Amino acid sequence: MTVRVGVIGVGMIGQDHIRRLTHVLSGSQVVAVTDVDPTRAQEVADGLQGARVHATGQELIRDDDVDAVLVASWGATHEEYVLAAIEAGKPVFCEKPLATTEEACQRILDAEVASGRRLVMVGFMRRYDASYQGVKSAVDDGAIGTPLLMHCAHRNPSVPPYGFTTEMMITDSAIHEIDLVRWMFGEEVVAATVLKPRRSSKGSDDLHDPLIVLLEMGSGVLVDVELSLNIGYGYDIRGEVVGESGTASLAETAAAMVKSDGRFSGGVPADWRERFIRAYDVELQDWIDAVATGGFTGPSAWDGYAAAVVSDACLEALRTGTRTVVSQRERPDFYTKS
Ligand code: NAP
């Protein structure tokens, strides 16, 4: 079966997903697109064989030729489209965030549970990165003993020139580590603290860069996340789990290490697209394969909700300067099946 996909939002990542669905992956065809900018939507559709443009996301979701929906529009619009896809009974891949408020995430959980079918996958692609999977295997198979700590670093060369705020360091950047550690340790984050080290002179007045986020897992595992958004030298994602009898770290990602003139060197990825290109491919192929067989896979609406409440706790910790307990509703049984 070829899964006929409709894409809502054809900005940067929407177009990148269309490229991979069309040229890299198998089993799908992009048959419809929409965007708040109709000219951009038309330009994207012109580059695809037989794709139509819809005036709105709602219209695209109702299109009988659309089997599954990919939401890559601005975060605040996600709730509306995910709810409409659930109502239409169509599988939906939603880029992170699932929604921008806890209440909106809850409405999605309630709608999906009421529909009786798992339809939502959230785009937390780091779970599909081979290096993170290697670290998780070492944790799961006991190779490093009981995990005690994890050190993470999330370093971007620079932030976009427009309006990137300190809060966005949590909601747009740390959100990936928040999901990642829930997946890595198979448990929830129960409390968060945010520390403000000496401020980099490279950020704007609205940006307190860097930050340290401390996440406490239910078992007591403590995770520290360094967020450095103006590191300059490249996009550098680091992670090391410390266990009772060993450590497991993300491998360096340079394609080759060059040794010459008494020195060694290797490249640092330029940005997140380069660093995680393969993870995005595996993630979306997984989704297409699941849709084709009527199944479900990947990070669920529950994972989107859980990340949102931890992110909210981090924002509160940032505002107040104090340790903030994460308050979460009870996980419906519906989401216990992996
Ligand atoms: P972007 O370049 O601004 O693209 C968003 C697109 O959606 C734009 O074309 C935007 O139009 C359009 N749009 C906004 N509201 C819409 C609506 N109501 N209906 C249809 N289209 C609408 O942003 P992006 O970087 O691609 O990010 C899109 C989403 O992907 C965000 O939620 C972001 O967090 C997520 N993302 C995830 C990752 C990841 O690593 N998983 C990486 C990047 C982005 P205008 O430009 O005219 O507003």
Q: Which of 44, 73, 124, 177 to mutate to test the pocket of ligand 1 (most atoms within 8 A of CB)?
A: 73
User: Ligand 1: which residue has its CA nearest to atom 42?
Assistant: 13
Q: How many CA atoms lie within 13 A of 80 on its CB side?
A: 12
- Ligand 1-lining residues (CB < 6 angstroms): 8-14, 34-37, 40, 57, 72-75, 77, 95-96, 123, 125, 272
Ligand 1: centre distance to CA 260 (Å): 43
Q: Which residues contact 107 (CB under 8 A, 6 or more apart)?
A: 79, 83, 99
**In this predicted structure, what is the pLDDT of residue 204?**
82
The answer to whether residues 38 and 145 belong to one domain is no
Question: What is the 8-class DSSP label of residue 199?
Answer: P
Domain count, the chain: 2
Tell me, yes or no, whether 64 lies in a domain: yes
Is 55 inside a domain boundary?
yes
Same domain, 192 and 204: yes
Atom of ligand 1 nearest to the CA of 40: 9
Q: 40 and 18 in contact (C-beta within 8 Å)?
A: no
Residue whose CA is at the smallest distance from ligand 1 atom 9: 11
| CA–CA separation, 266 and 251 (whole Å) | 13
Q: What is the domain extent for residue 52?
A: 3-125+278-299
Q: Are 91 and 168 in the same domain?
A: no
Residue 57, both tokens: 């996301």
166 φ, ψ (degrees, to nearest 5): -60, -40
Q: What does the alpha-carbon distance between residue 46 and residue 249 come to, in Å, rounded to a whole number?
A: 44
Please state the length of the chain: 338
> Which residues contact residue 248 at a Cβ distance below 8 angstroms, ignoring those fewer than 6 apart?
134, 135, 138, 139, 143, 144, 240, 241
Short-list 64, 114, 122, 110, CA closest to 90: 64
Ligand 1 centroid – CA 286 distance (Å): 22
**Ligand 1 mean position to 80 CA, how many Å?**
14
Judgement on whether residues 147 and 265 belong to the same structural domain of the protein: yes
Does 338 fall in a domain? no
Which atom of ligand 1 is nearest the CA belonging to 34? 20
Q: What pLDDT does 1 receive?
A: 86
Atom of ligand 1 nearest to the CA of 10: 9
- Do residues 121 and 134 share a domain? no
11 C-alpha to center of ligand 1: Å? 5
How far are the Cα atoms of 65, 70, 122, 312 from residue 135, in angstroms, in the given order? Answer: 41, 29, 22, 27
Q: Are residues 175 and 105 in the same domain?
A: no
Judge whether 293 and 282 are in contact, CB under 8 Å: no
Q: List, in sequence order, the alpha helices (H) in the chain.
A: 12-19, 38-46, 57-62, 78-88, 102-115, 130-140, 166-168, 175-185, 272-275, 277-292, 301-320
Please choose from 10, 19, 35 the residue to mutate so as to test ligand 1's pocket, defined by most ligand atoms within 8 A of CB. 35
Asked whether residue 202 falls in the same domain as residue 120, the answer is no
Ligand 1 centroid to Cα of residue 261, in Å, is: 46
User: Which of 7, 8, 13 to mutate to test ligand 1, by most ligand atoms within 8 A of the CB atom?
Assistant: 13
Domain identity same for 120 and 132: no
Same domain, 152 and 210: yes
Does 184 fall in a domain? yes
Please check whether residues 185 and 291 belong to one and the same domain.
no
What per-residue confidence (pLDDT) applies to 337? 56
pLDDT tens string, the chain, 338 residues long: the values are 899 999 999 999 999 999 999 999 999 999 999 999 999 999 999 999 999 999 999 999 999 999 999 999 999 999 999 999 999 999 999 999 999 999 999 999 999 999 999 999 999 999 999 999 999 999 999 999 999 999 999 999 999 877 899 999 999 999 999 999 999 999 999 999 999 999 999 888 889 999 999 999 999 999 999 999 999 999 999 999 999 999 999 998 777 889 999 999 999 999 999 999 999 999 999 999 999 999 999 999 999 999 999 999 999 999 999 999 999 999 999 998 54
Query: The domain spanning residue 320 has which CATH number?
Result: 3.30.360.10
Judge whether 106 lies within some domain.
Answer: yes
- Is residue 179 exposed (0-12), middle (13-18) or buried (19+ Cβ within 10 Å)? buried
Residue 157 lies in a domain: yes
Residue 141 CA, chain-centre distance (Å), reads: 25
State in Å: Cα 36 to ligand 1 middle: 10
Task: Say if residue 19 is in the same domain as residue 77.
Answer: yes
Task: Give the Å distance between the CA of 262 and the centre of ligand 1.
Answer: 46
Q: What is the pLDDT of residue 205?
A: 81
Question: Do 85 and 179 share a structural domain?
Answer: no
Between the CA of 88 and the centroid of ligand 1 the distance, in Å, is 22
For residue 15, report the distance from its CA to the centre of ligand 1, in Å: 10
Q: Please report the atom of ligand 1 found closest to the CA of residue 80.
A: 18
Ligand 1 centre to CA of 252 (Å) is 29
The token pair at 312 is 């909210």
Q: Is there a domain that residue 67 lies in? A: yes
- Looking at ligand 1, which residue's alpha carbon is closest to its atom 43? 13
How far is the C-alpha of 66 from the C-alpha of 60, rounded, in Å?
Answer: 7
Please report whether residue 324 resides in a domain. Answer: yes
Nearest to 178 by CA among 231, 124, 136: 124
Confidence (pLDDT) at 256: 87
CATH number of the CATH domain containing 118: 3.40.50.720
The angle, 0 to 180 degrees and rounded to 10, between the axes of the packed helices 175-185 and 130-140 is 40
Residue of minimum CA distance from atom 3 in ligand 1: 11
Residue nearest (by alpha carbon) to ligand 1 atom 11: 36
